[in-house]
Amino acid sequence: DQQVKQNSPSLSVQEGRISILNCDYTNSMFDYFLWYKKYPAEGPTFLISISSIKDKNEDGRFTVFLNKSAKHLSLHIVPSQPGDSAVYFCAASVNNAGNMLTFGGGTRLMVKP
Amino acid sequence: ETGVTQTPRHLVMGMTNKKSLKCEQHLGHNAMYWYKQSAKKPLELMFVYNFKEQTENNSVPSRFSPECPNSSHLFLHLHTLQPEDSALYLCASSQYRGNEKLFFGSGTQLSVL
Let me know: does B110 contact B89? Beta carbons within 8 Å.
yes
Q: What is the pLDDT of residue B1?
A: 52
Confidence of residue B74 (pLDDT cuts 50, 70, 90): very high
Q: How many CB atoms lie within 10 A of CB A60?
A: 8
Q: What is the pLDDT of residue A98?
A: 64
Mean pLDDT calculated for residue range B61-74: 93
Give the range with max mean pLDDT: A1-5, A10-14, A29-33: A10-14
Q: What is the pLDDT of residue A94?
A: 87
Tell me the DSSP string of B40-68: TS--EEEEEEETTEEEEE-S--TTEEEEE
Interface test with chain A among B102, B103, B108, by most A beta carbons within 10 Å: B102
Asked whether the predicted pLDDT for residue A81 surpasses 90, the reply is yes
Q: How far is Cα of residue A57 from the mean position of the Cα atoms in its chain?
A: 12
Q: Which amino acid is residue B59, in one-letter code? A: S
Q: What is the pLDDT of residue A97?
A: 63
Q: What is the pLDDT of residue B22?
A: 98
- Out of B31, B42, B45, closest to residue A105 by CB: B42
User: How far apart, in whole angstroms, are the C-alpha atoms of residue A85 and residue A21?
Assistant: 12
Q: DSSP assignment, residue A33?
A: E
Interface test with chain B among A23, A45, A99, by most B beta carbons within 10 Å: A99
- Cα nearest neighbour of B31 on chain A: A98
Q: What is the pLDDT of residue A95?
A: 74
Q: Coil, strand, or helix at residue A96?
A: coil
Let me know: does A91 contact A33? Beta carbons within 8 Å.
yes
Asked whether the predicted pLDDT for residue B100 surpasses 90, the reply is no
Mean pLDDT of chain B: 90
Q: What is the pLDDT of residues A26-44, one digit of tens each?
A: 999 999 999 999 998 889 9
Contact residues, chain A, for B48 at CB < 8 Å:
98, 100
Q: How many CB atoms lie within 10 A of CB B86?
A: 17
- Cα nearest neighbour of B41 on chain A: A105
Q: How many CB atoms lie within 10 A of CB A26?
A: 12
Contact A103 B94 (CB under 8 A): no
Q: What is the pLDDT of residue B95?
A: 87
Q: What is the pLDDT of residues A86-105, one digit of tens each?
A: 999 999 998 766 678 899 99
Q: Which amino acid is residue B9, in one-letter code? A: R
Q: What is the pLDDT of residues B10-59, one digit of tens each?
A: 999 988 889 999 999 999 999 999 999 998 788 999 999 887 777 777 78
- Chain A and chain B share a number of CB contacts under 8 A equal to 72
Contact residues, chain A, for B92 at CB < 8 Å:
43
Q: What is the pLDDT of residue B59?
A: 83
Let me know: does A13 contact A80? Beta carbons within 8 Å.
yes
Q: What is the pLDDT of residue A88?
A: 97
B97 in contact with A at a CB cutoff of 8 Å?
A: yes
Q: What is the pLDDT of residue B112?
A: 93
Give exposure, B4-41, as e/b (b: 16+ Cβ within 10 Å): bebeeeebebeeeeebebbbbbeeebbbbbbbbbeeee
β-bridge mates for residue A103, sequence order: A91
Query: What phi and psi, each to the nearest 5 degrees, are found at residue B84?
Result: -70, -5
- Out of A95, A100, A106, closest to residue B56 by CB: A100
Q: Coil, strand, or helix at residue A83?
A: helix
Mean pLDDT of chain A: 94
Nearest to A35 by CA among A95, A84, A69, A79: A84
